[in-house]
Amino acid sequence: MPAINETHDVFLRSWVESANEAGCDFPIQNLPFGVFRRKGTNEDFRGGIAIGHEILDLKAASNVGALSGIAARAALQCAQSTLNSLFVMGPQAWSALRLALSQALREGSAHADKLRACMIAQADAEHAMPVSVGDYTDFYASIHHATHVGKLFRPDNPLLPNYKWVPIAYHGRGSSIGVTGADFHRPVGQTMPPNAEKPSFGPCKRLDYEFEVGIYIGGGNELGSRVPLTEAENHVFGLCLLNDWSARDVQAWEYQPLGPFLAKSFATTVSPWIVTLEALAPYRMAWTRSESDPQPLPYLDSAENRSAGAIDIQLEALLQTEKMLKSEQPPAHLSRTSFKHAYWTIAQMVAHHTVNGCNLNPGDLFGSGTQSGPGPGEQGSLLEVSNGGKQPLKLANGETRTFLEDGDRVIFRGWCERRGFARVGFGECSATVLPALPHS
């Protein structure tokens, strides 16, 4: 588990002035990784880090001699169109690069003049997927979401017997994951209308968002081996925000007996920046399990996981309808919760995923499952907000929603705050629902 070190010092300031602004998502204490190029060009995508309103081109930084040793070698791996090669280098290289970048970007750095020429404004950049995702696994790690949804279908028994014993997950579709701004068409599929004798085919009518935390696997493990809980976080590079869009009506018809298929595989959206686990070290919290609940089996339990396995990431969902956009109205707040409420930790997800000998690979992606909190206003999906579509949500401009309509833009934001440390943000995860393509 990464420790707090000099890179987290709240008093650090950068010569990149915008990084010192109050409320900035990307202060010098953050330094998240992504892949970018100048907007509207045919340049190759390459790796960079966000600092204030700027992006530091890591290939250019290497070329001007601002980095040395293992940090320089790690930065060169970011010259490619994905960060997979950086992931392969492991935690020592990731940490060395973070420290070197922190030192190079601080006020008074001898490399400031060299690195100014390696910056481009975030407003002038476009993003691609930061990694080549080989496999995508979606967990179900919020007991509050599982309970809310379970009550809609099984009021007397919302949680299935295995939920409190085993981290539930299913294998998702890696090919349809896109980065913020990759808008998508409303999916079509089979649904079973109420009281109908046969299913119908057409556009999904109950399209929903799911607010999740994305978890990027750094180092993998050999097929047939397992990753112990105490080593699990050494295999995680960092986190992002993730929207695992869901066609609820398609899912209701197809999920029995095997689970989600077309209802999930049409689109998943991730934020462009990956916040490293090391950057999140100050926001760790004790992970607790109620004494009345089953305690984890030994392979899912450790003193370290209990003392600091949770992370307090504030999560906010917003909606901007097409009408709001045309009238230049800001997006409407939908909900806010924290990742600290997750029933299973990141380390437990990794340990469980590999306990049967399953091999993870650098660049694999986990979704945490929809993150909902215990209180009102903390729901991570419209299915919960609208009570299964029975209670429309009234927006400030008079519009209502039970599920998403064409032209709706869903926006996720995430950040960490703690007294004595800098605010660290994730940027935005967003995409717009386009009309369904013509179908026969």
Token pair in block for residue 278? 């090391």
DSSP string, 353-390: HHTTSPPP-TT-EEE------SSTT--SSHHHHTTTTT
Q: How far apart are CA 420 and CA 55, in angstroms?
A: 26
The C-alpha angle with vertex 127 and arms to 209 and 273, in degrees rounded to 5, equals 65
Token pair in block for residue 54? 């700027």
Catalytic annotation, residues: 145
Q: How far apart are CA 195 and CA 184, in angstroms?
A: 31
How far is C-alpha 416 from the chain's CA centre?
Answer: 14
Token pair in block for residue 161? 């017997």
Angle in degrees, 0-180, between the axes of helices 69-77 and 91-105, rounded to the nearest 10 = 100
**3-state SS record for 230-274:** HHHHHHEEEEEEEECCEEHHHHHHHCCCCCCCHHHHCCEEECCCE
Torsion angle of the four alpha carbons 219, 133, 8, 314, in this order, in degrees rounded to the nearest 10: -130
